[in-house]
């Protein structure tokens, strides 16, 4: 649910900035740069939480 809310929030913010294309693009770029490392950490954290069975 948080992912859907985040996507909606990003869409609204960029929609408000549509008259300023550079600012809208930079906003989307910043969001992408923030979320890519967060998604990359998701798998290693899941492995730490549930170690594989021998």
Output the pLDDT for position 39.
64
pTM for the model stands at 0.57
| pLDDT on residue 46 | 60
H/E stretch holding 20 reads none
The number of CA neighbours under 13 Å toward the Cβ of 16 is 6
Q: What percent of the chain has pLDDT over 70?
A: 63
Of 40 and 20, the structure prediction assigns the larger pLDDT to 20
- pLDDT recorded at residue 7: 85
pLDDT in tens, 15-32: 999 899 999 999 989 988
């Amino acid at each position: 649910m948080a992912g859907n809310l985040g996507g909606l929030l990003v869409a609204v913010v960029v929609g408000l900035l549509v008259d300023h294309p550079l600012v809208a693009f930079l906003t989307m770029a910043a969001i992408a740069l923030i979320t890519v490392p967060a998604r990359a950490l998701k798998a290693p954290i899941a492995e730490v939480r549930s170690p594989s069975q021998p």
